[in-house]
Structure 1
Amino acid sequence: MGGFFGTISKGECINDLFYGTDYNSHMGTKRGGLATWTEKGIRRSIHNLENSYFRGKFEDDLDKFTGKSGIGVISDTDPQPIVMNSHLGKYAVVTVAKINNLDELEKRIIDSGGHFSELSSGETNPTELVALLLNEGKTFAEGIRNVLDSVKGSCTMLILTEDGIIAMRDKLGRLPVILGKKEGAMAVSNEPCGFPNLGYEIEYNLKPGEAVKITADGYERICEPGKKKQICSFLWVYYGYPVSEYEGINVDMVRYKGGYAMAKDDDLDVDFVAGIPDSGVGHALGYAVGKGVPYKRAFIKYTPTWPRSFTPSRQEQREFIAKMKLIPNKTLLKDQRVIFCDDSIVRGTQLRDNVNILYDYGAKEVHMRIACPPLLYGCPFLNFTASKSALELIARRIIKRIEGEDDKNLDLYKKTDSEQYNRLVDEIRKELNITTLKFNSLENLVEAIGLKKEELCTHCWDGTSCF
C-alpha cells in the first residue's frame, strides 16, 4: 500500500522528515523517497527498499538535504516523489493511490497533447499521472478537484510547494490523513504513530475529499470535504501500527475489544492463548482476558536481519520470509492446548506451514481465532494484499471447490452462521489442519471499531462499499 509524511518548520526540517517517513515503513516495502524545498529548488532522493530498510538506504543522503519543508513516502508501487514544473509553479508530489482507470486517464492525457516521462517497469508512473491531472487545473485547488473527480479507486497525496505543503485525503477517506502540531512546526501523515517521539500532537483529521494548505504556523482549507466516508476497516485489523489512532480510535484498543468479544462467545477449554506477531497480539490479549486464561508468547518474531514480508512480489518469497521470522517456543508448546489469534487468513499457505510446525513441536491442540471475517473479495481501493484475483483467497478457492464456481452463492457464504458459512469455515479448518477455527463476525468488528457501518469500507468481506 504505502504511507507518507510531510513537515514544515521555522527551522531545519530534515530530522523530523527522515524519522517521520521511517515511521511509515510498516505500510510498504518497495521504494522510499524524500524531497525538500531548498534555496536552490527541490532536492529529491529515491531508493529501492525491497532488500533493505528506509533508514539504512537514506542515512548517507541526509547531509545533502537542507530546507524548512519536505515530504517523504514509503511506496509499494512507483518511484516517488515526482518533481514537476508547470503553470502551477515548481512542486513535488507523493501519492498513496490505486488507480483502476489508469489506462483510460493515460489515453485522455495523451489525446489532449500531454506526455509521460517517468516510467516504472515500462508502465506509466501513477504519481506522474496524478501530477498531470493536477496540471489540468488553473490552481492547485482546481487540480485537486480534477483528481478527485477523475480517479476511480483511491488517491491521497502531499504536494510540496515553495510556500507550503498541500495535503489531500481520498474522496471517500479510505486512508486517514492526519495533521500534527508542535511549537514552530506542522506535520502531516497517514500514520500518526511517529508524532509522539517527534514532539507532535494530533491537531486535525482531514475529512474525505478535503485538502488543506499547511505552513509552519497552521493550516487552511482549500477544498471542501465530501459528505460520504468509507475508511478502510483493515487498518484496525492489520495495517495500522498499534499506537496509531484513526478518526480518534486507537488501533490496539480495537484489536483488544474484538478479541474480548470473541472470547465471550467461545466455550472452548484451553491451556493458554497466544498471538501471531505483530497484529494478532492485541487481539490475543483481549481474548485471553475475555476467556480468563493466561496469555503466553508461543511465537516470537525475529526481525534484526530479515526484510519485511508484507507484500513481496513472489509468493515463494513471502512464505519463506514469513516462516523464518516467526520462531516457535518449543518449551511452551509441548503437550499444550493453545488458541492462536491472528489478524486474517488471506491465502492460507503461511498459516498452514506454521500450524504444522506447532504440532511438530508437541502442541496437543491448535485452535485459531481470526480477528475479521473470511476474506471474499480482493481490495479494489488500497492493494491491502498482493492478490491479483479473488481466486488467490483461500475462501474463494474453497467456494469454487464446493460450488463449481468461485462467485456462486456468495451472499450465503458471507452470512455468519449460515449453513454455507459454517461449511466454508470447516473446509478452511480442515485444509489448514487446525483443531478448531472461528472468525470474528463483521458485526463484532464494526462494534469494536466504533464507527457506523456505512462509514467503514468492508468490501473485502461483504463487497458492499461504494465505488
Structure 2
Amino acid sequence: MGGFFGTISKSACITDLFYGTDYNSHLGTRRGGMATLHEGIFNRAIHNLENSYFRLRFEADLPKFKGNSGIGIISDTDPQPIFVNSHLGKYAVVTVAKINNLDELQKELLDKGCHFSELSSGQASQTELIALLISQGKTFPEGIKLVHEKIKGSCSMLILTEKCIIAARDKWGRTPILIGKKDGAHAVSSEPCSFPNLGYELTYDIGPGEIVEITADKIETVHEPNKQKQVCSFLWVYYGYPVSDYEGVNVDTMRYTCGLKMAAKDDVEADYVAGIPDSGIGMGLGYAEGKGLPYRRAIIKYTPTWPRSFTPANQEVRDLVAKMKLIPNRHLLKDKRVIFCDDSIVRGTQLNDNVNILYGYGAKEVHMRIGSPPILHACPYLGFTASKSALELITRRTIKELEGDDSKDLEKYATTDSPQYNEMIDKIRKKLNITSLKFVTVEDLLDSIGLPEGSVCTYCYNKACPKGE
C-alpha cells in the first residue's frame, strides 16, 4: 500500500522527517523517498527498500538535506517523490494511490500534448500522471479535484510547495491522513504512530476529499470534506499499527473488541489462547478475556526485519518469509489444545506452514480464530499486494474446487452460516489441517470498528462499496 509523512517547521525539519517517514515503514516494503525545500531548492533521495530498512538506506543522505519543510514516502508503487515545475510553481509530490484507468488517462494526457519522463515497471509513473493532472488546474485545489474526478481507484497525496505543504485525502477517505502539532511545527502522516515520540500531538483527521494547506503556524482547509466516506476496514484488521487511531478508533482496541465478540459466540474448549504476532495479538487478548482462558505466547516473532509474508513478488520467497519469521515455543505447545487468533487468511501460505510446525511441536489441537471475514475479492481501490488476483485467494481457489468456477455464487459464499459458506470454511479447515476454523462476521467487524453505517469499506469480503464507484 504505502504511507507518507510531511513536516513544516520554523526550524530544521530533517530529523522529524527522517524518523516520521520511518514510522510508516510497516505500510510498504518496496521503495522509500524524501524531499526537502531549502532557499527555493529541492533536495531528494530515493532508495529501494526490498532488502533493507528505510533508516539504514537513508542515514548517509541526511547531511545533504536542509530546510524547514519536507515530505517522505514509503511506496509500494513507483519511485517517489517526484519534482514538477509548472505554471503552479515548483513542487514535489508523493502519493498513496491505485489507478485502475492509468492507460486511459495516460492516452488522454498524451493527446493533449503532455509527456511523461518517468517510468515504473515499464508503465507511466502514476505519481507523475497525478502531477500532470494537478497541473491542468488553475490552482492546486482545482488540480487535485480534477485528480479525484478522473481516476478510478483511490488517491491520497502530499504536495511540498514553496509556501506550504498541501495534504489531500482520497475522495472516499479510503486511506487516512492525520495532522499533528507541536510548538513551531506541524506534521502530517498516514500513520499517527509517527507523532508521539517526535513530540507532536494528534490534532486533526483530514476528511474524505478534503484539501488542507499546512504551514508551521496553521492549517487551513481549502476544500471541504465530502459527506460520504468508505474507510478501508483492513486498516484496523491488519495494516494499522496497534497504537494508531483512525477516525478516532484505536487499532488495538478494535482488535480486542473483535476477540471479545468471537469468544462470546464460541463454545470451543481449549487450554489457552495465543495471538499470531503481530496483528493477531490484540484479538487474542480480547478472545482470552472473553473466554476466561489464559493468554500464552506460544509463537514469537523473531525480528521485524522479515517483511509481510505476502509482499515479495516471488511466491517461493513469500513461502520462505512466512516460515522463517515466526518461532513456536515447543514447551508451551506440547500436549496442549490451543486457540490461535490471527488477523486474516489471504493465500494461506503462512498458516499452512505454521500449523504443520505446531503439530510437529506437540500441539494436540489447533483452533484458528480469524479477525476478518473470509476475503473473497481482490481490492480495486487500494494497492494491497495481498489481493492482486482473486485466484491467489485461498477462498476463491476453494470455491473453484467446489464449483468448478471460482466466481459462482459468491454472494452465498459471503453469507455467514449459509450452506455454501460453511462448506467453504470446512474445506479450508481440512486443507490447512486445522482442528476448527472460524472467522469474524462482517457485522461484528463493523460493530467493533463502531463508525456510522455505510462509512467503512468491506468490498474484499462482500463487494459492498459506494454506488457509482
TM norm structure 2: 0.98
Query: Which deviates the most, 120-129 or 167-176?
Result: 120-129
Query: How much identity, in percent, do the aligned residues show?
Result: 68
Structure 1 runs, 4 residues or longer, greater than 6 Å off: none
Using the alignment, how far apart are the partners of 1:307 and 1:391 within structure 2?
Answer: 22
| Shift of residue 267, structure 1, vs aligned partner | 1.1
Matched, 1:112 2:117: no
- Write the mapping of 1:31-430 to structure 2, written as runs, cut at 5 A: 31-303=31-303, 306-309=306-309, 311-430=311-430
Using the alignment, how far apart are the partners of 1:28 and 1:307 within structure 2?
Answer: 9
- Find the residue that maps to 1:465 and give its secondary structure: coil
Given that 1:313 and 1:386 are in contact with CA atoms closer than 8 Å, whether structure 2 keeps it comes out as no
Given that 1:157 and 1:167 are in contact with CA atoms closer than 8 Å, whether structure 2 keeps it comes out as yes
Using the alignment, how far apart are the partners of 2:54 and 2:92 within structure 1?
Answer: 20
Given that 1:51 and 1:307 are in contact with CA atoms closer than 8 Å, whether structure 2 keeps it comes out as no
Using the alignment, how far apart are the partners of 2:453 and 2:156 within structure 1?
Answer: 22
- Find the residue that maps to 1:98 and give its secondary structure: strand
| Shift of residue 411, structure 1, vs aligned partner | 1.3
| Shift of residue 82, structure 1, vs aligned partner | 0.5
Structure 1: 5+ residue stretches without partners: none
Q: Decide whether aligned partners of structure 1 residues 268 and 307 sit closer, same or farther in structure 2, where only a CA change above 3 A counts.
A: closer
Given that 2:263 and 2:290 are in contact with CA atoms closer than 8 Å, whether structure 1 keeps it comes out as yes
Using the alignment, how far apart are the partners of 2:40 and 2:313 within structure 1?
Answer: 38
Given that 1:273 and 1:340 are in contact with CA atoms closer than 8 Å, whether structure 2 keeps it comes out as yes
2:22 maps to: 22
Using the alignment, how far apart are the partners of 2:305 and 2:261 within structure 1?
Answer: 36
Amino acid at match of 1:261: K
Given that 2:182 and 2:200 are in contact with CA atoms closer than 8 Å, whether structure 1 keeps it comes out as yes
| Shift of residue 266, structure 1, vs aligned partner | 0.7
Using the alignment, how far apart are the partners of 2:145 and 2:92 within structure 1?
Answer: 18
Given that 1:53 and 1:307 are in contact with CA atoms closer than 8 Å, whether structure 2 keeps it comes out as no
- Write the mapping of 1:444-459 to structure 2, written as runs, cut at 5 A: 444-459=444-459
- Find the residue that maps to 1:303 and give its secondary structure: coil
- Find the residue that maps to 1:174 and give its secondary structure: coil
Amino acid at match of 1:223: H
- Across the aligned residues of Structure 1 and Structure 2, the Cα RMSD in angstroms comes to 1.0
1:2 maps to: 2
Q: Decide whether aligned partners of structure 1 residues 305 and 232 sit closer, same or farther in structure 2, where only a CA change above 3 A counts.
A: closer
| Shift of residue 304, structure 1, vs aligned partner | 6.0
| Shift of residue 464, structure 1, vs aligned partner | 1.2
Cα deviations across residues 138-178 of structure 1 (Å, max 9, x unaligned)? 11011011101011100000000011000000010000110
Using the alignment, how far apart are the partners of 2:57 and 2:310 within structure 1?
Answer: 18
| Shift of residue 322, structure 1, vs aligned partner | 2.0
Using the alignment, how far apart are the partners of 1:453 and 1:340 within structure 2?
Answer: 30
Using the alignment, how far apart are the partners of 1:391 and 1:444 within structure 2?
Answer: 26
| Shift of residue 387, structure 1, vs aligned partner | 3.0
Amino acid at match of 1:257: T
Using the alignment, how far apart are the partners of 1:128 and 1:408 within structure 2?
Answer: 39
Amino acid at match of 1:131: A
Q: Decide whether aligned partners of structure 1 residues 309 and 66 sit closer, same or farther in structure 2, where only a CA change above 3 A counts.
A: farther
| Shift of residue 225, structure 1, vs aligned partner | 1.7
Given that 2:322 and 2:349 are in contact with CA atoms closer than 8 Å, whether structure 1 keeps it comes out as no
Cα deviations across residues 288-344 of structure 1 (Å, max 9, x unaligned)? 000111100111101165455451111211121121110010010000000000000
Cα deviations across residues 344-380 of structure 1 (Å, max 9, x unaligned)? 0001122111000000000000000000110000011
Cα deviations across residues 164-202 of structure 1 (Å, max 9, x unaligned)? 000000010000110111110000011000101111111
Q: Decide whether aligned partners of structure 1 residues 353 and 204 sit closer, same or farther in structure 2, where only a CA change above 3 A counts.
A: same
Given that 1:182 and 1:200 are in contact with CA atoms closer than 8 Å, whether structure 2 keeps it comes out as yes
TM norm structure 1: 0.99
Using the alignment, how far apart are the partners of 1:121 and 1:413 within structure 2?
Answer: 36
Given that 2:88 and 2:135 are in contact with CA atoms closer than 8 Å, whether structure 1 keeps it comes out as yes
Using the alignment, how far apart are the partners of 1:235 and 1:245 within structure 2?
Answer: 10
| Shift of residue 3, structure 1, vs aligned partner | 0.1
Amino acid at match of 1:202: L
Using the alignment, how far apart are the partners of 1:308 and 1:348 within structure 2?
Answer: 13
Using the alignment, how far apart are the partners of 2:2 and 2:321 within structure 1?
Answer: 20
Using the alignment, how far apart are the partners of 2:37 and 2:224 within structure 1?
Answer: 27
Structure 2: 5+ residue stretches without partners: none
Cα deviations across residues 240-272 of structure 1 (Å, max 9, x unaligned)? 000000001000000000001100111111001
| Shift of residue 79, structure 1, vs aligned partner | 0.1
| Shift of residue 385, structure 1, vs aligned partner | 3.1
